[in-house]
Amino acid sequence: MAVSCALLLSACGGSGEEQSTGSEDKKVLNVGTEATFAPFEFMDKGEVSGFDVDLLQAAAAEAGYEVNIQNTGWDAMLAGLQSEQLDIGMSGVTITDERKETYDFSVPYFESVSMIAFKEGTDIKTAEDLKGKKIGVQNGTTGQIAAEAIVGKNDSSISKYKTSALTFQALQSGDVEAVVTDIAVAYEFAKNNPDAGIQTVGDDQFVPEYYGIVFPKGSELKAEFDEALNTLYENGTYAEIYKKWFDEEPNIDSLKA
């Protein structure tokens, strides 16, 4: 039977000085996400799961917080950060100059790049081949920006969907011929849907981008989570989480560049 720490401090490994680290004292931070973006965030048995979840939980523990991660959706996450109803956005969000005008970002925690996913048989070898094709992107993402950079901003061949999952549904149903999304997400979808015949191709026109934890502008949490992330980079925890989800060693130096 579990012994309550509150009743029996000596049973909980302490002189008593440590008692303020007990979970009952920790502030719970409200986190928004768009959880159709495996392997970063996706719903698993009713819970948000993924690389981002493990990393955020580790960083929060390091900084002395608990997190309540809700699948708010992308737009509501961004709105919730602006209105400060949310403390954190954790959703594979790329750090961009434009977004930095509205939000604060942590130090980078993942390097990504855009990738094109399409069904085998579609004639796509480079990004230029997107021209004249029906393209699906998640609305308001860097995938949209990457697609627009190739075919033009007002090109009606780009369909914009509310979630990442809807872009892949459109690809499978044939509503679009290509999806422009983040590399690890394209790979994960291809891997999880072996019968869908999904191919992927990158292009030098797509430039590296970096994910950061998002905070309302001016949030004090930024400094605390930067410190926590740096600790996780140093003490091996980040590498452990990375290996769990990506089956390889991370290149932490690339995040510091």
Helical (H) or strand (E) element with 89: strand 88-89
> In the complex with ligand ARG, which residue's Cβ is closer, 101 or 123?
101
Q: Give the Cα separation of 223 and 34 in Å (integer).
A: 24
Output the DSSP codes for 165-219.
Answer: HHHHHHHHHTS-SEEEEEHHHHHHHHHH-GGG-EEEE--TTSPPEEE--EEETT-
Residue 71 binding ligand ARG, by CB under 6 A: no
41 touching ligand ARG, by CB under 6 A: yes
Q: Does 182 bind ligand ARG (CB under 6 A)?
A: yes
Candidate list 49, 72, 138, 167; residue touching ligand ARG; CB under 6 A:
138
How near is the Cβ of 231 to ligand ARG at its closest, in Å?
A: 24
Segment interacting with ligand ARG, rule: CB under 6 A, options 118-126, 135-143, 188-196, 236-244: 135-143
With CB under 6 A as the contact rule, the residue among 164, 213, 214, 216 that binds ligand ARG is: 164
Which among 10-18, 43-51, 79-87, 90-98 is the span making contact with ligand ARG, rule CB under 6 A?
90-98
User: What number of chain residues touch ligand ARG (CB under 6 A)?
Assistant: 13
Query: What CA–CA distance (Å, rounded) separates 193 from 241?
Result: 24
Does residue 92 belong to the site contacting ligand ARG (CB under 6 A)? yes
Residues 6+ apart with CB under 8 A from 38: 50, 185, 188, 189, 192
Nearer to ligand ARG, 54 or 227 (CB): 54
What is the token pair recorded at 122?
Answer: 């579609």
Residue 114 within binding range of ligand ARG, rule CB under 6 A: no
* Conformation bin of residue 75: beta by default, left when phi > 0, alpha when psi is -120 to 50: alpha
**What residues form DSSP beta bridges with 208?**
none
Q: Which residues of the shown chain bind ligand ARG in the complex (CB under 6 A)?
A: 34, 37, 41, 74, 91-94, 138, 141-142, 164, 182
